[in-house]
Structure formats: structure tokens, C-alpha cells
Amino acid sequence: MPLKNEILNRWLGRADAPPERETVVIEPTQASADWHMQLDEEGRVTSISKSLRGALALAAAGMPAQRLLAYLMPSSALVVEGVPREWLGHMLDLDFKRPNGNVLHTRGWVQAQGSSWLLQLLDIGDLMEEANVAQSRQQCLRLAGHMAEKVRGCHVERLQSVTADQLEELAQSYRVPCLALVLPEPGGVGWRVYAHYNAHTAPQLWQDSQRLGTDLDSLSGTVTHQIDFGVPTPLVHLQSAFGNAQGFLLPHHKEGSVKAWLLFGFYDAAQQVPDLGEREWMNLCSALAGPILYRHADQAHRHQLERLAVLQDLLGTGWWELLPDSEEVQLAPQLARTLGLPETSDVLPLEEWLQLIHPADRHELESRLSLLRDQGAPMLSCVRLRQDDPGEASVWLRIQGQVLVSGQARRVLGFMLDVSDIKNQETQAAAAHARLDNLIASSPAVIYVLEYDRGALEPTFFSASLAPLLGWTLAECSDGQLTQYIHPEDRDIWFQRTRQLLREGVVSCRYRLRDKKGEYHWLLDEARLLRDDLGMPVEAVGLWLDVTEATQATERVRESEERYRILVEDSPAMICRYTPDLRLNFGNRPLADYLECTPAELPGIDLGEWFSAEQKEAFLRRIDELTPESPTTTAEICLELPGREHAWWIWADRGVFDDAGKLIEIQAVGRDNTEIRRTRMQLNQSAKMATLGEMATGLAHEINQPLNVMRMAVVNVLKRLSNGDVEVDYLTDKLNRIDTQVQRAARVVNHMRVFGRRSEIEQQLFDPIDAVDGTLNMLSEGMKGKGVELKIDEPGARVQVRGHVDQLEQVLINLMVNARDALLSKREKNHDFEPWIALHVEQDEQTIWLVVGDNGGGIDPRLLERIFEPFFTTKPVGVGTGLGLSVSYGIVEQMGGRLSVSNSSEGACFRIALPIVRE
């Protein structure tokens, strides 16, 4: 009892437990055991052999005694139930646990040794592993047989769904997330997913009928592949098929090549099923893929036989074979029906078969058949069937035969084809051929016939017109010689023409052909391919038409168009075409560059977007005036381009009209006149300021006069006030006079300010009489002060012109100031001279004339032609700039008018003609 308490306390780990007795290691004396353990009567381990301690990675001696179960896996609990005495005579399968998580499989027995027990152990890990492997392989074989049986036994229409079921069963057996069977594409190039399985918890890698390309072809010479796209590998090009996931591939080999693949996705075979080797995996793949491929091949073979039978029925043909070592002939069922034989008579004696042939052809067929059977000479003959009714149409058969040798065996076989339609057509064609010969002989073109021979077209006929045109004969154009006469640059056209004729049946093209003198002719070749009843090419019929002159003329036109295109594209001018609604149809590169776009972007752009409302109205009005009799017009147009200042173009239009005289398009050429226009505006402004400078004295007088009147009025008022004589009427009259003079001075100053401003960008409608009034307001007082009389006629009906009122006023001022200077210069020489300047207005329905004349004696006739030249002046140096009349001439011209000069009886006469604008 004390001993049991001591052992219990030691197991429970109590502190008052007596110190452990030193265990004695007893090495086994039996050579058959691998390891030994010493046990006491209760089954506690008192000692462990050194080798077993090392296998279990236990510490050295001195460990407290524990029950044997503490060293074993839970699965061994029933084996060591009780005490060692009860285990005597039993084999004990014990599984020891190791610190690394592995299991040590052993088989042992106990043996009494004094008061203790000796447990002897053998390592059976290899036996257990072999047993597990054998069991896994046996299970693999059963699964492979089951899959093959299911695939072989199902209906062909359910083959794909049954395959998917077997993939699912295979995946569930080995815990495969994604599984797919891949078969070749129908055309034999590339691979396609035939069926697949995808677990609900795994991403879908494949779909049925998914194309995988040809990447799998690079693995055809290998066995299996474990793919990990996380590391560099030569199989990275398969990542699209596996979705960059880890995978496993199994090929199915047949006849030295891979016929199918089994793809495993998200799967590591070595880790998941270590018991299976490559052989077992290959068996699984073959058990599934092999029957499927066989079923597909068998189905394709049946379809081929069905198609062959249908083809023979449709063509009325069939095969025949002379049976060896007999005088019998076996016929295809379709051929037997064609010959009118009973359905059961597909084998009949040779003599009976020959009796079916017309007597006129029977002996020839019999002779050719003997040569075929005895000497192996190929046979080809056309014979007629025997007809009991002479009134019936003849039935023609084409009989062909040959000898096949396979080792020592010889087979004589062939086919028979109903060619009655062809024979009848030949008879009809003979009659039509005679009629065609007469037609061909009178044709101006060369008519030819090309015979189809195994993919090639060889000339068999040329009409008589070939010799006068090219000088060649039929013999000189045969055997491929015709190709040598084609121009080297046109031979690609010739070959393409032949391919198109065979592919599409018709062709029309042009090429150059050399005649016998070495000169080349442009020929228009038009041909049509003729086919027989079976759709097979027979011959091609066509004609050559000499189009040398027309082709050369077309080439000259093309070269001319090319030169025109280069001229248009390289021209510095802006060239375009547009419709009457101002939509561009074409624009060259200078126009596109100016508008900051590409030529391809120009078509469809609305020109009206660049005009103001007034400019667009004037532009359309000018286009509407184009007629077939007067199709051209030229004008300066102003454009408002986005992000820029106003631009001016000199624009010339030419209308294009249809047969009815309707305007359908306008062709235009323009050049940028912006800089010239701006320079002219600056010149006009400079001339205007120069005019103001020249008028400074007169304008000062204009202002001094009101000031003197106001000063005198103020002095008189002050005198009356100092005398105490204040009358309201008198003061009112003086104040009104002062107000009148203030207004007079203000009008002069305001008009000077308006006159000195820059002109508006766009021309406006105005009354030319307003310019006359403004001119007189600025010059009349100055002229009177210098003793020059102004003769002004009363204007007639008011009209409107287009331009700038200040610029017309500038012209009138220039003309009147020049006349004043000339008159004053003359009066200095003749003090009795009385100068005057006349200004009157004339007009008709279309034009208004402003005429400025004087009595200064006129202009030297030798200077009249140069009077409007820039910088030309008759004034002394430093007095005039020579720009007044030149600028005035340009201003009037911009308004669409004309400034002219002539000498009258008393002096010079300047006429300003302006077109009247009607509302």
C-alpha cells in the first residue's frame, strides 16, 4: 500500500513525493527487436532504450516514471488497456507521438523479466506506408475503372454532361478545387475546354468550350507539370489558362502525341495526395480521356460513312470491287440501286455485271478490265447501260478502276459515276460551238478559253484576232509562256487575277502584255469561270480588249490631277471649296494651318461662324449674285477668329453650276491681307492726324471767334451793371448769345475729337451728306477767314453708302485743304484773285458723286497720272507728306467707289463716286 501511494503521488506531481529511484537501463539481448522499454507491474515505463529515446527525441535518463499511454497516440489506448500481464502473448500495434508531429509506427510484444516486463518493439513505418500507398492506388484504379465505364456506357448526346459528373467525382475524391478536361480544337490547332468542375468555394478558372490557344503544345513531349506562377518557371506562358494560380497538368498520350490534357487548378498533387505517383495520375487521365476520344472518333467515323453514303446517293455513283479468287463483283448499295438491281444483290457474277453494259461498249470494258486485273494498268472508260427500250435516252457511266497493293494482298476496285448529263451537254455544246466560232471570228476583241487543270489555267483557244493584235500563236502562249509576256510590274496583278477567278468565278482587271514586236499593250481582261454540275471548275472564258489609248489618257489625267493636287497643297494661298450654305467641302493645308487645325478637320466647318452678322449677310449677298454668265467675284472679307483679333482676307470666288444653272459649289482662293489692312489703317490714321495738324490754325480761329463774341458780350454786360442800368431783356439777350457761342465752340472741339479717333473695324451704312456737314463744320470758318469762298449746293434725296463716315470726311478735308493751299498760293502772286471752292452732289439710281472743284487754274496735265501716287506732292519740302491723295484714293476704293481728277475750264475737279446701298 505505501508503494502504491508513492507511485500515485509521483504521477500527480506532489511535492512530498519521495525522490525517484534510479532507473537501470537494460539493453535487450534479442537481436530481432529494434527498440525496448522496461515496464513495471502497473504498466509504467521505468526505462527506455537509448535508440528509442533518440527516435522519440526524449531527454536522457532520470525522467519520472509515466504510464506507457503517455508516450502513445490516442488511437493506441485500447491496445494497452490493463496491465502488462494481460498483454502477454499478444502482438501490440503501438503508435508513438514525436515532438515534430509525426507518428512512429511500431509492432511489439511483452516478455516477463523478473518482477518487471520487457516491451520489445519493431519499426513497421515502411510497412504501414506501403499499405497506405497500395490502398490509395487500389482506390485510384477502382475510380479510373468506374469513370471509364460511365463514359463508355452513356449515350453520345450525354457524353459531355457525364464527363462533367466524372470530373466532379474525381475532384471530390482528391479534394481538387478546379478541374477541367481539355481536348484539341475541331480544326486541330489549339485546345478547348471540353468539360470542367469548379468547387463553390474556389474561383472559377475555366468554362465549357473556352479556347486555350496553342500554349499547351509546348508541353506535348513531357509527362506531368506542377505549376507555381509565384516563382520564375518556363511555364509562365500558361498563366492565362490557370489564372496565375498554382496548377497541375496531366497529358493523355496516344500514337506518340498528346491528345488530351487534364488540368488541376489551385492544387499541389505532391502535398495533397503523396501516395499517388505519376503512373496513377496518368491512369486517371487516360481512363477519362481515352474513352471520350474513342467515342468522338467513332462518332466522326459514323458521320463520315453517312456523308459518303449521302454523297454517293446524290451523285448516283458508288464503288465496285473484284473479289479475289473469284469471278464476282461486289457493288456498293447505292450503286446497285443506280443499276436497278435488287437490294439484296450487291454481289453478282462478273459476267452478269458485264451484261448490264451496252453491247457496243461491253467488249472494250471487258478488255480494259482484264488489263487492270492482270497487269495493274489503270482503267478509265465511259460506257452506256443496256436499254431494252430503244426510245429511251442513253445512260452513260464513267467507270474507273485501279489496283491497290498492301503487302502480298492485291485488291482491284474502282467506282462508277453517272455522266449522262455531261454527255448530253457535250452534244449540245458541239452545236453551240459551231455558232460560237462564227461569232468569235467577227469580234474585235481577243476571245480566249483557259482549261482548268489541277489548280492551274492553261490556254486552249484564242480567237483569230490574237495574231493582228499581239502577233502570238496559241502554241507560243501555252505551257506557262504567257506569263513571260506580262509586264514585270503587272505580274502580281496577273497572279491575283488567276486566284480571284478561281475563287470568285469572275474577274475584271487591267495589265500590260508584250506583243511579238516588244511593245506593251494595256489590255482589259474580263473572264468568267465555268463549272460542271458538281461545282468543279472546268474552264474559263474571257476576252482581251486593247485599252492602251484610253489607259494612257487616264494616266495623263491622273498625272495632271496629281500636279494640280501638289499645286493646291503647296500653294501659299488658301484654297477651298464650299457649298452655298457656307459649309466647307475641302480646304488645303495653308487654310488649315491658319485656322489651327488639320486638313481632315476642315470638311463640314461652317464659314459663317467666322463672320459677324453684317459680314455674313454681305458675303451671302455677294454669293447670290453669282451666275453662269458672271461666275466670279472678288472682295476683302473680315473674319472674327477665336482668340485672335480681326483678320482680313482678299477672297476670290468662282461658282460651279449644274446643267440647270443652279449654284452647287463655290471654289475660292484667298490670301491674308491683315497686315496690309492694318498698315493701311495706321496710314489712314496718320494721314488723319496730319490733316488735323494742317488744320490747326483754322481750328484755332474757329474756336477764337466764339471766344471773342463771348468776351465782348461779357464786357458790355459789365458796363451796364457798373452804370446801374440793368435790363432783364438786355441781360437775357447777351446770355443767349454767350450760350450760342459756347455750343459753337463745343461742336468744333467734339468734332475734332471724333474725327481724330480710329475708325471702326467693320464698315457701316451712313449718309454721305453727314460727311459733307462735318467737313464744313471744321473748315467753313477757316476758309472764310482766309478769304476763300465756299459754294455749297443743296443736296438732293438722302441715300446711304457703306464705309466709315470719318474716313469719307477725311477725304473731303484733304481735297478742300489741297484746293485752299493752291488758291492761297495763287493769290499771293495775284492780289486781285478771288478764290472759291465748290462742293456739290450728283446722283442716279446706283451711284452718288461728291464733286470738289476750284478756280485755281487746274493741275499740270503731266502730273495728273501721278497725282494719287504715295509720297508724290507739289508742295515745298517740309510742307506736305504726299500721302493725302494716296490715302484718300485707297479709302474711296475700299468703299467700293472711285476717286478721279480732271481739269475744268477754271480749275481742278475731283469726283468721288460711291455705290448707293438700297435697303
The string of DSSP letters for 532-565 reads: -TTS-EEEEEEEEEE-HHHHHHHHHHHHHHHHHH
At residue 292, what is the residue type?
I
**Phi, psi (5° rounding) for residue 560?**
-65, -40
The string of DSSP letters for 176-220 reads: -SEEEEEEE-TTSSSEEEEEEEE-TTS-----TT-EEETGGGGGT
Contact in structure between 576 and 668 (CB atoms under 8 Å): yes
Supply the pLDDT for residue 60: 63
| Residue 588 pLDDT class (50, 70, 90 cuts) | confident
Cα(730)–Cα(732) distance, rounded to whole angstroms?
A: 5
669 - beta bridge partners?
Answer: 575, 652
Does this model's pTM top 0.85? no
- The average pLDDT across 395-420 equals 84
For 43: left if phi > 0, alpha if psi spans -120 to 50, otherwise beta; the answer is: left
Domains for the chain: give ranges and CATH numbers: 2-123 (3.30.450.20), 143-302 (3.30.450.40), 316-386+394-418 (3.30.450.20), 441-553 (3.30.450.20), 571-670 (3.30.450.20), 680-915 (3.30.565.10)
Contact in structure between 365 and 357 (CB atoms under 8 Å): yes
Give ∠ CA 258-263-268 in degrees, rounded to 5: 125
Supply the pLDDT for residue 485: 92
pLDDT digits (tens, 9 = 90+) for 497-537: 999 998 999 999 999 999 999 999 999 999 999 998 888 89
Contact in structure between 607 and 586 (CB atoms under 8 Å): no
| Residue 443 pLDDT class (50, 70, 90 cuts) | low
Cα dist. 198→64, 176, 193, 374, 437 in Å? Answer: 55, 9, 13, 65, 74
| Residue 615 pLDDT class (50, 70, 90 cuts) | confident
How is the beta sheet containing 66-67 ordered, strand by strand? 66-67, 44-48, 35-39, 116-123, 103-113, 92-97
How large is the angle between the packed helices 768-785 and 728-756, nearest 10 degrees?
A: 120
Which cell is 839 given?
462742293
Q: How many other C-beta atoms can be found within 10 angstroms of the C-beta atom of residue 288? A: 26
Using a pLDDT cut of 70, give the percent of the chain over it.
Answer: 82
Cα(795)–Cα(774) distance, rounded to whole angstroms?
A: 14
Torsion of CA 206, 209, 215, 216, to 10 degrees: 90
Supply the pLDDT for residue 28: 39
The length of the chain in residues reads: 919
Lowest mean pLDDT among 65-69, 492-496, 575-579, 628-632: 65-69
Cα(449)–Cα(305) distance, rounded to whole angstroms?
A: 39
At residue 448, what is the residue type?
Y
Q: Per mean pLDDT, which of 630-644, 736-750, 862-876 is the most reliable?
A: 630-644
| Residue 489 pLDDT class (50, 70, 90 cuts) | very high
Cα dist. 324→350, 413, 431 in Å? Answer: 12, 11, 46
Tally DSSP H helices, then E strands, for the chain.
25, 35
